[in-house]
Amino acid sequence: MKRYFQSYDLQNNTLNVIEQLKFKHPTEIQHRVIPHALKMKSIIGQSQTGTGKTHAYLIPMFDRVNSEQDDVQKIIIAPTRELAMQIFEEVKKVISFSNEKWTAKLVIGGTDKQRLQQKLQNPPHIIVGTPGRILDFIEEGTINASTVNSVVVDEADLLIDLGLIEEVDQILSRMYEEVQIMVYSATIPKGLQPFLKKYLTAPEHIQIEEDVLSPEQLEHRLVPLRHRQQADLIVEASKLINPYIALVFVNKKEHADALAEQLLDKGLEVGVVHGGLKPRERKRVLKELRSLRYEYIVATDLAARGIDIPGISHVFNAEMPHDVDTYIHRVGRTARAGLEGTAVSFYQDKDLTLIESLESRGIEFFNYDIKKGEWVQVKKWNERKQRQKADHELESEAWKKVKKQKKVKPGYKKKMQNEKDQIKKQMKQKQSKKGKRR
């Protein structure tokens, strides 16, 4: 059943903006969030990347801005500068399509603070920013928190990871009690729960089951790393898949720099994004990423959480992540907007527990290797383990069929062992015949 934005209590100007954004039908999270957000209810929104979450809060937020009132009415808090900048780009796009004189400002660190203070002398309707800089301006009186009627806390689980939730706590404590708070997070970690209980009274909890793991959209390939270099395997794989844009994940910024350098040495167009970049360098790289300068982007998980790059055809896990949720975040960067995508993961023995957990979540892995310039299907990662398990079960069944000796005679153990081996051999032959018949 198709849904339409016209069915919500949205103003004509907002519907016109939506039309110019070329949104035909609301996504699942938009459909479930917008009606509650328009009623100024507090919301906990749980969804993965690529579900249309940003516009789920931007659309109702803009719809309820009073353009005749010259004060800060809405604040969007993001954990990283990259994510704040990305959200602000969408905010500017909405404003450019509007007939209303909406205003917005980006408030993040790494910029000229004095210059920004001067700009905020004329309060914008909407502020998008990072917790530290927003809190600074509230404490200094540059931003008047008492006029704010709606706050979005985006990527809240990442705020926990980065230790920034206390700053968000201090921002909200300076606002009036009835302020609408919308918290968006892919997961709800334990560290976030006290914050939610403190500030959200009877919130609407909206959880969207992510479909990025659907095999129709996304293929998951496993490649054993063995004693090879990740850079060599990426080059070999790229000759076969010819990616439009490939996002390459590692677990540490030092590894990102090293891998990017190796790929550059091999003649690939490579950009690198991690938390160790200086503000000016980070801004330059992000601009180049959006202009599609690079075919390969090497990134750490924290840095990639704020980046939305269109056209990612492949995700490489040069290093497997430490947990299931991080894997899902990573692969969710491809196979978006109905397009196909491929996630290629290089694994080692230490990653087998994670792979097993991912399979229990319904992910189907295809096992490949690259030999002589071709993809070759190889044995399943846990085939040896399954064979050992089957052999152990067969051994147990064979022992059960061994006749127990009423009187113990010399050499009885050896005799029983031989009998067990004979029974086990017969059972294996029987299973083999059954398999051939199938």
Q: Assess whether pLDDT exceeds 90 at residue 73.
A: yes
DSSP state of 364: P
Q: Which of 52, 55, 129 is nearest to 88 (CA)?
A: 129
DSSP state of 135: H
Instruction: List pLDDT tens digits, range 215-240.
Output: 457 889 999 999 899 999 999 999 99
Q: Is the alpha carbon torsion for 84, 90, 95, 96 positive or negative?
A: positive
Mean pLDDT of the chain: 85
Instruction: List pLDDT tens digits, range 5-55.
Output: 999 999 999 999 999 999 989 989 999 999 999 999 999 998 876 678 899
Q: Which of 85, 350, 332, 86 is nearest to 187 (CA)?
A: 332
Instruction: List pLDDT tens digits, range 258-278.
Output: 999 999 999 999 998 887 777
Instruction: List pLDDT tens digits, range 296-322.
Output: 999 988 777 766 677 788 999 999 998
Q: With contact defined as beta carbons under 8 Å apart, do 330 and 250 qualify?
A: no
Kindly state the tokens that stand for 344: 């290629």
pLDDT at position 288: 83
What is the architecture of the domain spanning 218-377?
A: 3-Layer(aba) Sandwich (3.40)
Alpha carbons 336 and 331: distance in angstroms, whole number: 10
pLDDT at position 212: 46
Judged by DSSP in three states, 184 sits in strand
Provide CATH code, domain 5-207: 3.40.50.300
pLDDT at position 259: 96
Q: Assess whether pLDDT exceeds 70 at residue 385.
A: no
DSSP state of 100: S
pLDDT at position 339: 65
**Placement of tokens 């994670």 in the chain:** 354
Q: Is the alpha carbon torsion for 176, 179, 184, 189 positive or negative?
A: positive
Q: Assess whether pLDDT exceeds 80 at residue 255.
A: yes
Cα angle for residues 431, 437, 438 (degrees, 5° grid): 95
Better-predicted residue by pLDDT, 84 or 435: 84
**Placement of tokens 């029974």 in the chain:** 423
For residues 55-83, average pLDDT: 93
DSSP state of 191: G
pLDDT-based confidence at 71, cuts 50/70/90? Answer: very high
DSSP state of 199: H
Instruction: List pLDDT tens digits, range 186-213.
Output: 778 888 889 999 998 889 999 886 554 5
Q: Is the pTM of this model over 0.95?
A: no
Instruction: List pLDDT tens digits, range 84-141.
Output: 988 999 999 999 999 999 999 999 987 788 888 888 999 999 999 999 999 999 999 9
Q: How many CB atoms lie within 10 A of CB 249?
A: 28
pLDDT at position 249: 95
Q: Is 138 exposed, middle or buried (0-12, 13-18, 19+ CB in 10 A)?
A: buried
